[in-house]
Structure 1
Amino acid sequence: MKVKIPQEWYEILLKASEQKRMKFSQFVDYIFRTDECLNLPEVPTSGRMRSLTLSVNVDEKELVRKIHKFLFCS
């Protein structure tokens, strides 16, 4: 499954996955299952999108919503 997220979100998630010592795909799965959030300030996006290929079969809108909630607690 392919999902597009803002490049800035991708960079934050990549750094967070490295800090948790998880592969990026495992980290995305973790985000989908957790209620944890980082409570970061809202990041302005440039409009550039990053395409992710995931082995998880989930709704794209739901995953983007979960990632947004994980990053910004909203």
Structure 2
Amino acid sequence: MNEKKLQDFGGSLAVALPVAVADRLNLGAGDPVCIVETEGGILITPYHPTLARATAAGTRISERYQNSVGKLAA
């Protein structure tokens, strides 16, 4: 685990990725990433248009059918 502190960055919060992580994921300054809030925390992945559309659709479905999804999960 790599503990980092959030930094104030022009009215937002930012965290620096370790170079080794960025290298393994082939990420560089200015590359888009996808940020998803999960039950366990925050998931940051390289941006992939198909994944972004699927995640957005899943969120809309979960919100719209919250009661039904909850019953199915039980």
Fold in common (TM above 0.5): no
Instruction: Determine which structure has the larger helix proportion and give its number.
Output: 1
TM-score (norm 1): 0.25
- What TM-score does the superposition give when structure 2 sets the normalisation length? 0.25
